[in-house]
Amino acid sequence: MSEGLKLWLPEKPSKELSRALRRMTETEDVRQVAVMPDAHVAEDVCIGTVAATSSRVLPAAVGGDIGCGMLALRFDIEAECLADPKLSASLLAALGSAVPCHRHVHRTSGPLPEELLSWTLSAPRLEAMKEREARAEFGTLGRGNHFLELQSDEGGALWLMLHSGSRAMGPAIRAHHERSAPRDPSGLAWLEADSEAGRSYLSDAAWAGAYARANRRFMMTRVIEVLAELLRTTPDPTSLIECDHNHVRREVHASNALWVHRKGAMPAEAGAMGVIPGSMGSASYHVEGRGMESALCSSAHGAGRVMSRSEARRRISVRALEEEMRGVHYDRRIAHRLPEESPSAYKDISKVMRAQRDLVRIVRRLRPLLVYKGT
Look at strands 30-40 and 47-53 and give their pairing: antiparallel
> Residue 63 and residue 44: Cα distance in Å, rounded?
9
Q: Which residues contact 53 (CB under 8 A, 6 or more apart)?
A: 29, 30, 31, 258, 259, 261
The pLDDT of residue 3? 63
10-residue mean pLDDT series, the chain (375 residues) = 82 94 96 97 95 98 98 97 94 95 63 93 97 94 94 98 97 97 97 98 98 98 98 98 98 96 98 96 97 98 94 95 95 92 95 98 98 88
332, 341, 279, 331: which is closest to 311 by C-alpha?
341
> Residue 219 and residue 104: Cα distance in Å, rounded?
13
The pLDDT of residue 103? 74
The pLDDT of residue 255? 95
State the pTM of this model: 0.95
> Residue 78 and residue 262: Cα distance in Å, rounded?
36
The pLDDT of residue 1? 46
Look at strands 157-164 and 47-53 and give their pairing: unpaired
pLDDT digits (tens, 9 = 90+) for 106-163: 444 567 999 999 999 999 999 999 999 999 999 999 998 999 999 999 999 999 999 9
Angle between helices 196-231 and 85-98 (to 10 degrees): 140
Collapsing DSSP to helix, strand or coil, 138 comes out as: coil
The pLDDT of residue 4? 85
286 is catalytic: no
The pLDDT of residue 111? 79
The pLDDT of residue 132? 92
> Residue 298 and residue 270: Cα distance in Å, rounded?
10
In order of their start, the domains of the chain are: 5-306+346-373 (3.90.1860.10)
The catalytically annotated residue of 146, 176, 245, 301 is 301
> Residue 264 and residue 149: Cα distance in Å, rounded?
19
